[in-house]
Structure 1
């Protein structure tokens, strides 16, 4: 039995083994290897990981080496993933000639992969959020998967309309922030990667416009105020609330109601996608004064209002909720013989009684009959004030006299006391 084992071992180590080695060498020579050339990108498999180098199979007759200086340039996340069996793209730095080693770079291989990704992103017009890592005279620098991208100042929306010192200060403030951009130029030979925030904003604006519909209720942030209305940012697109659609009551200037940064809710009245214009209506999402009126005032109630117009058949009066009511001529205060002549004029404050409220027809009937007019109320108030002042003066006089009486009474006390003393 032992003899058979010895014979088997001899056979394995003898001529048969030599023949197998020769056969393997011949097969290796016949295998259709494509020898790598400098600059080639190969997919490599890690065979061994050392402290200063990594050995990889890149499909060549000789294993490739990744040197320490290349490993030192890798991110920590990549270093952590370097283990036997891991596959990574590599770039051939030096081919194996004679006794030279085959040197490859993982760093350059990964960069090549990123360049390909950047090219695909440009072809697809993809929008991505990148971190601003620096700035120079011409614009901003952003990080794109380890590559440094350049965004010209003219392509940064946040720098629009800014000049000189203000622009430089704003660029510095943007460092560390996220910025939506599109790739607009890829030049791998010159290692040039150009991005555009303006193109990204335009692309996102187009997409956002497709999402919005007329009649939709939206909420945005006031970004600019003008004499004619308020511009509102709606997640990347801008809409306008015209001054006539800001409120049910008259607005002389939009700044009376809003300031930049305020949140505002409105209805989309119309969208012009070709011109990128959105018309908003804040009135549509706030209660109409005619809806509010019946909840705050009752028929028969006497209130104050302001005359807005005088016509042949009566006067129009605006009350506190912002609606105008009519005082028909038949409901005007009759002129009294002993009263001064009074004719209401625009701007006058008058007292009126509510006769009828019709929210559906938006009608408000008012009356000034049997109501003490404002001038009479003012006279009465003035008379009351004079009476109160007179009473105050009389009271003060009485108090003064009362305080002085004990001094007069005290004068005869001393003689009387002296007389009693003498009698005693």
Structure 2
């Protein structure tokens, strides 16, 4: 049989059971199910009690390099695993905001099965919510909002479709780079003070570092544009004339 591939559900033989992991051989290849990939529905203790060395079990393949990593949770929901495995980067998925956490936003997708443990199969990490600065995900979306995001990847660990809302929005930094040449004097507001300088917002969604500068949040300052690095999404300023 072909070598295991990420996203597949395969059958293997249990070779070892410990408190931290279960070893499973899939077509002769040694693989590991970690405690975190045991089940979305049951505690680890209940999972391992049902297993025995030599038993044939279904496992989902979550990684093949550098080692074969397996998931019992994925095998519990093959329909979800198959749906997520069928998605390709760039596809647009829509749904309803189901829950907002400090680490991101769960989206209940219009298509595909539901998630057995989480509020939604779609998930948007904080950086992918918006190009613009915000302090709380709730500043960008609210529960119940209809959203559309671009599919980024299949999170095999959590059984999620990672989405980006900002990928479908205009990038303010690209527009800023087109319209502002290096050496231009700009006026802005200090948004953050750090040990190595201050960050200054000079346009909606565009902030940059003014190194070795003092100031307080809210101060209005003049700066000179030194560099815009689109790849690293970094803007660098030097001091401008005193306002």
TM-score of the two chains, using structure 1 as the length reference: 0.31
2:128 is matched with 245
Change (3 A) 1:302 1:251: closer
Shift of 1:345: 2.7
Structure with bigger helix share is 1
SS of residue matched to 1:252? coil
- Displacement of 1:283 in angstroms is 3.2
Q: How does 1:143-162 map to 2 (within 5 A)?
A: none
Equivalent position of 1:143 in the other structure: none
Cα 1:231–1:327 shift into 2, 3 Å: closer
Offset, 1:291 = 0.9
Structure 1 residues 296 and 256, CA gap change in structure 2 (3 angstroms): farther
State the match for 2:237 in structure 1.
366
The 3-state SS of whatever aligns with 2:112 is: coil
5+ residue gaps, structure 2, are 1-76, 114-120
Structure 1 gaps of 5+ residues are: 1-201, 333-343, 373-424
Q: Cα RMSD between the aligned structures?
A: 3.3
Alpha-carbon deviation of 1:232? 1.4
Shift in Å, 1:293: 1.7
Alignment partner of 2:241: what SS?
A: coil
**Which of structures 1 and 2 has the bigger CA Rg?**
1
Aligned equivalent of 1:84: none
Residue of structure 2 equivalent to 1:349: 219
**Structure in which a larger fraction of residues adopt strand:** 2
**Separation (CA, whole Å) in 2 of partners of 1:275 and 1:227:** 17
Relative to structure 1, is the Cα distance of residues 260 and 316 closer, same or farther in structure 2, using a 3 angstrom cutoff?
closer
Change in 2 beyond 3 A, CA 1:204/1:320: same
Aligned 8 A contact 1:305 1:320 in 2: no
Equivalent positions of 1:158-169 (< 5 A) are: none
Q: Distance in 2 between matches of 1:305 and 1:366?
A: 13
Q: TM-score, with normalisation over the residues of structure 2?
A: 0.50
Provide closer, same or farther for how the CA distance between residues 355 and 211 of structure 1 changes in structure 2, counting only shifts above 3 A. Answer: closer
Match of 1:125 in 2: none
- What does 1:215-230 correspond to in 2, within 5 Å? 215-230=90-105
Q: What is residue 278 of structure 1 aligned with on the other side? A: 161
In the alignment, what sits opposite 1:304?
Answer: 188
SS in structure 1 at match of 2:203: coil
Change (3 A) 1:366 1:252: closer
Q: Deviations over 1:26-84 (max 9, x none)?
A: xxxxxxxxxxxxxxxxxxxxxxxxxxxxxxxxxxxxxxxxxxxxxxxxxxxxxxxxxxx
Q: Which has the higher contact order (CA 8 A, sep 6+)?
A: 2
Aligned twin of 1:96: none
Where does residue 112 of structure 2 map in the other structure? 236
Counterpart of 1:211 (choices 86, 109, 113) is: 86
- DSSP 3-state at the match of 1:255: helix
Name the CA distance, whole Å, in 2 between partners of 1:363 and 1:244: 15
Match of 2:53 in 1: none
Q: For residues 3-402 of structure 1, what are the structure 2 equivalents within 5 Å?
A: 205=80, 208-234=83-109, 235-237=111-113, 238-272=121-155, 276-295=159-178, 297=180, 300-311=184-195, 314-328=197-211, 344-360=214-230, 362-372=233-243
1:231 CA drift (Å)? 1.5
Aligned residues: 157
Listed one character per residue, the Cα deviations across residues 181-231 of structure 1 (whole Å, up to 9, x for unaligned) are xxxxxxxxxxxxxxxxxxxxx786455334323443323332333333222
Structure 1 distance, partners of 2:217, 2:165, is 28
